[in-house]
């Protein structure tokens, strides 16, 4: 084989490798992103009625969220992903992820894309109008309310369990 054929073959292989390297890198990044799925609580997304949502919910550190039948709520150091859209603040970054507050709550009648009821909290905190969001899942023994705190890729979850389930209530 003449020397120029070897040089040409080497040049072609070099060009192919230079062209393929970015494509392989992009494919690798996409695959790694899909493999690094943020955690979610056990159970499937679930639709809950207002009656099922009404009551006391508690997080794993003792934070309490009380959803009243009249559409108001109160909370004591309950975890959540809170957003102050006016001041561009969000939990997990530059805003607390545990708050004590009171305000209005609403269950999204048109459930989210996964079929779970979304619970929205609206209240004033400091100088901002704050919103908080939870989705419902079937959980282990009973439904849970949950949300990511901050960036979902960080894997920080807030999970609330119903503290006053009917089985927990005393009977007469």
- pLDDT for 5-19, tens place per residue? 668 777 777 776 677
Distance between first and last Cα of the chain: 98
Query: Can you give the pLDDT at residue 21?
Result: 66
Tell me if the pTM is above 0.75: no
- pLDDT for 89-131, tens place per residue? 999 888 999 999 999 999 985 555 577 899 999 999 988 899 9
Contact 105, 149 (CB under 8 A): no
- pLDDT for 31-70, tens place per residue? 555 556 778 888 899 999 999 999 999 999 999 999 999 9
Q: Exposed (0-12), middle (13-18) or buried (19+): which is 108, by Cβ within 10 Å?
A: middle
Query: Can you give the pLDDT at residue 39?
Result: 84
DSSP string of 138-164, one letter each residue: --SSS-EEEEE-S-GGG--EEEEEESS
* Domain extents in the chain: 1-36, 50-168
Query: Can you give the pLDDT at residue 169?
Result: 43
């Amino acid at each position: 084989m003449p020397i120029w054929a070897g040089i040409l073959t080497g040049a072609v292989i070099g060009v192919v490798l230079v062209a393929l390297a970015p494509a392989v890198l992009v494919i690798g990044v996409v695959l790694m992103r899909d493999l690094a799925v943020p955690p979610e609580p056990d159970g499937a997304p679930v639709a809950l009625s207002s009656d099922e949502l009404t009551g006391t919910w508690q997080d794993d550190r003792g934070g309490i969220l009380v959803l009243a039948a009249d559409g108001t709520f109160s909370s004591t150091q309950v975890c959540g992903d809170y957003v102050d859209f006016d001041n561009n603040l969000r939990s997990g970054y530059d805003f607390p992820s545990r708050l004590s507050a009171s305000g209005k709550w609403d269950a999204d009648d048109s459930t989210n894309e996964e079929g779970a009821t979304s619970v929205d909290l609206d209240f004033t905190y400091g100088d901002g109008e704050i919103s908080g969001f939870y989705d419902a899942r079937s959980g282990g023994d009973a439904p849970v309310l949950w949300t990511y705190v901050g960036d979902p890729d960080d894997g920080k979850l807030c999970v609330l369990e119903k503290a006053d389930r009917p089985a927990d209530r005393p009977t007469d």
